[in-house]
Chain A
Amino acid sequence: MFKTVLFISLCLLALTILLNLYRVVKGPTSADRIQALDSVGINLIASIGIFSVLFHTRAFFDLMLLIGILSFIGTIAFARFIERSVVIERDN
């Protein structure tokens, strides 16, 4: 019963990632693509949580926080690239 619920939520998360990937491929502007990629990262975190319940392990918990940090930094870097056309600024 419990495993069925986990499988159903995994399938829903996979469907969400597929819909986000549709927006990544089809998105008219690059801001749409960046936001869809950020959302894919969050859905990956949720899927890893469900996988670690399914496998009875705590080994993936560090990975969830790491994906959160990397997704945050990547989104900020892309946003700066759109806004200012340079990622790391220099003060002169």
Chain B
Amino acid sequence: MKPNDVILQSVTKVAVVIIFTFSVYLFMNGHHNPGGGFIGGLSTAAAIVLLYLAFDIEKVRENIRIDFKKLTAIGVLLAVCTGLGGVVFGKEFLTQAFGYFELPVFGETELTSALIFDTGVALAVIGTAVNIILSISEDR
């Protein structure tokens, strides 16, 4: 007999949206307030783990078609390439730049290259955490 967990699955469908929003908030907040790439990536990984808990592995793998090993590699590559960008412009490795731009919706916004480095950190953290949990749950 298949167990029935309607309540867990319906709560998960609402809660995952809130957790993803919160993790994006933590990620974008990290320049001037508490937060940043590491904790944003970890809370995203927590939401994905909640999906794995409520549904089974195959159903989540069908709907989130991401190879998490490749995600880790892309994150590390992004962080290294941001560091090499300073070398291209004749500065030291990992030199960061920032500027103020006029965006359509947000108005005057400060855009930094540290955000791209943080994106790399977040992708590496998501990939590593989900990969560890998946490979632990593989064997019986």
Contacts and interface: CB of A to CB of B under 8 A. Distances in A.
Interface stretch (B56-64, B69-77, B80-88, B93-101): B56-64
Interface residues of A, number: 20
B54 to A, nearest CB: 8
A81 to B, nearest CB: 10
Given A62-B34, A91-B58, 10 more contacts: A69-B22, A69-B46, A76-B50, A80-B53, A84-B3, A87-B53, A88-B56, A88-B133, A89-B56, A90-B57
Interface of A: 59, 62-63, 65-66, 69-70, 72-73, 76-77, 80, 83-84, 87-92
Nearest to A60: B34
B56 A73 contact: no
A77 B53 contact: yes
Contact of B57 (A65, A83, A89): A89
Interface of B: 3, 8, 15, 19, 22, 26, 29, 33-35, 39, 43, 46, 49-50, 52-54, 56-59, 133, 137
B53 A66 contact: no
Contacts of A65: 22
Contacts of A87: 53, 137
A90 B58 contact: yes
6 contacts: A62-B33, A63-B34, A83-B3, A87-B53, A90-B56, A92-B58
B56 A91 contact: yes
Contacts of A70: 46
A26 B54 CA distance: 30
A59 B19 CA distance: 19
A83 to B, nearest CB: 8
Given A66-B39, A69-B46, A76-B53, A88 B22 contact: no
Given A84-B3, A87-B53, A73 B137 contact: no
Contacts of B133: 88
